[in-house]
Structure 1
C-alpha cells in the first residue's frame, strides 16, 4: 500500500535549467559508486580533528575482501567526495553514550555489520540536548541529480519499548538528505528530506516510517505517512530508496522495504520538491546521511529508564547512480 501525500504548502512550479528524464525515458546502465558488507579489514577509526563540542570525528576505513569492486573505504571515495571518505559523527557525547563499530551480526556469528549504539543524550548543536550517531557523505564533487541506495537494516528488540512511549514520536531519524546544507554560511537554498521511525499518535502501539521535507528554518514543504506498513523489529530487512532532484512536478522520493524471507513492500512514492522551493538553479544533492540514528532526549531517556538502548545494525550498503526503481 502506498502512502497518501499531504501537501503542506502550495508552491509555484519553476523551470529548471537542465533536462529531467521522464518516467518513459530509458535510464543509462546503473553505475555502482560503492558497496560494502563491512567484512575484511573494514572498521571505524578516529580522526585527529574534533567537532564544535570536543568530540572526535571518525570515519570508516578498510577493504571488504568479500567483494570484487568499489569496496575500498580508503580509496574508492576519493574521486567522489571532497574529503575522500565516509565520516562518522556524533556531535558530542562519549563512548559511554554512543558509538559506531563494525561488530558481529547478532543473528549470524559468521557475518559482520555496522553497529550504532545509543544510550543517552547530551548538550549538542542548536543549544539542544539530544542524541546522534550518523554517517556523513558530505562534499559530493558532482552533485547527484538522482541516485539509488540499498542497505540491510536490523533494529534490535529494544525498539519494541518505543511502542509504549506515552506520546507521539515525530523524530527518530534513520537517514537524511541535504540539498543544500542550510548550516553553510551564505547558503540561501537550504533543504532537507528526513526519513525516520515514528509513532503516529500517543495511543498507537506500533512504529511506522515517517518522511518529510523542509525548506531552511524547518519550514515544512510536504510530509508523508504510511501507518499501514509497520517497521520490522528484531528481523533483518532491506531498505531501498531512490532520490531524484526536482520540483513539485518532477522531484521524487521512493522507498521500499523487503523483510528477509518476505515480499517487497513499497512504503513511499512521493512526487514533489526535493530541492528548496526558491532555488531556480538546483545543482544536485551534495550531502546526505545514508545511515543515521538521531532523536530527542525524551525518546532516548524513555528507553534508558527501561534499561534498554537504541541499537541499529547496518549491512550490505550499496550506492548507485543512473539506477531507478
Structure 2
C-alpha cells in the first residue's frame, strides 16, 4: 500500500503533537508539603511537595518530575518570613472535608532579596531540562472571599501574581537573554470595583515589552474556577500565550489569546522556557497591609493540577 509523502508527514506531525501528561495532582493520598533540611537557595526558604495522589497516574511528586527538572522536585518558596506570616499546606477543602487541596496563606511581608519588602508563597519548576518550547497547564483555583476587599483598594493593583514564566531565568547564567511573562490579578484603574487578569512581558531590567488588560472577564472571588493556559516560545508573530477560565457551572471564557514575544526580544537562539512558577501568591507589602487592616488575609486554594507537553487549546 502506497502512502503519500503528504499523508506521511501529517501522520508524523500528529504523533509529535499527541498530548503527553507530565504530572498531575488531586492533593489526595500521601501528598503533603515537607521541609528540605538545610536548604536555602535563591536567598529563600524552600520546602517541597512530596507524596502521591490517590488512584491517579503520573501523580508522584517524588518521582515523576525527575525526567523533567534538574532537581526532580516541585519547590515551595517563601523568600523569608515564617509560618506566622505565610505557609503552604495540604488541607481539607473548606465546606467539603472529603476533598483535599493545596492552601496558600499570606498574612505579612518581610525583608527579602535585594533588601526589598515582599510577600510570597510560590511553587518553582526551575531547571527544566532542554527547556519547554510549549506546554499546557490546568488547575482549579479558589480565591477566598477575603480577596473582595481589594475591590475597594484606593490605588492601582499591578503586583498580585498568580504565575510567572522565565525564558530564561534572569538570575542565573542566561541572564543576558532573560525574559519574564507574568500573570497577575489586579486593576489598572483605581476606581474599578472588580479585579481583572493582567498579563505582561519584560526583557531584562524589567523593561516591559507588552501588556494586556482584559476588563471584560472578571476574576471570580469566593467561587471555584478552572484556569488553563498555554505557552509557546516565539517572536512577535510565532509566540503565543493563551488563558481561559471556567467558573463552576458556567461556560469557558477565553481571557487572552496573545500572539507576541515569549522570549527575549533580541535573543539570537531561543532555547525554551527553563523555569516557571505554576502556582503563586506574590505581592507588595502595601497590598498585604491593606487586606490585614480590614481584618482579612490573602488565601488561595488550588486543586486538580495538570501539566502537559504537546497539548494545545481546543
Size of the alignment, in residue pairs? 302
Cα distance in structure 2, aligned partners of 1:321 and 1:53: 27
The secondary structure found in structure 2 opposite 1:136 is strand
Match of 2:19 among 21, 30, 37: 30
Does the CA-based 8 Å contact 2:291-2:298 persist in structure 1?
Answer: yes
1:224 equivalent to 2:212? Answer yes
**Which of 205, 208, 224 is residue 236 of structure 1 equivalent to?**
224
Bigger helix share: 2
1:194 to 158, 166, 182: 182
Query: Relative to 1, partners in 2 of residues 1:184 and 1:240: Cα closer, same or farther, differing over 3 Å?
Result: same
Rounded Cα–Cα distance in structure 2 between residues aligned with 1:196 and 1:267:
12
Check the 8 A contact 2:235/2:260 in 1, yes or no.
yes
Number of the residue aligned with 2:50: 61
Report the CA distance between 1:262 and its aligned residue.
0.7
Task: Name structure 2 gaps, 5 residues minimum.
Answer: 1-9
Residue 146 in 1 paired to residue 134 in 2?
Answer: yes
Single out whichever of 54-63 and 241-250 deviates more from structure 2: 54-63
TM-score of the pair, normalised by structure 1: 0.90
- Pairwise CA distance, 1:187: 2.5
Q: Partners of 1:158 and 1:135 in 2: how far apart?
A: 22
1:120-135 aligned within 5 A:
120-135=108-123
- If asked which structure has higher relative contact order (CA below 8 Å, sep 6+), I would say 1
Give 4+ residue runs of structure 1 displaced > 6 Å after superposition. 24-27
Tell me the C-alpha RMSD between the 2 structures. Answer: 1.7
* Distance in 1 of aligned mates of 2:90 and 2:226: 18
SS in 1 for 2:286: helix
Contact 1:114 1:314 in 2 (8 A): yes
If the length of structure 2 is used for normalisation, what is the TM-score?
0.93
Q: Which residue of 2 aligns with 1:313?
A: 301
Map of 1:157-306 to 2, 5 A cutoff? 157-185=145-173, 187-306=175-294
2:37 aligns with 48
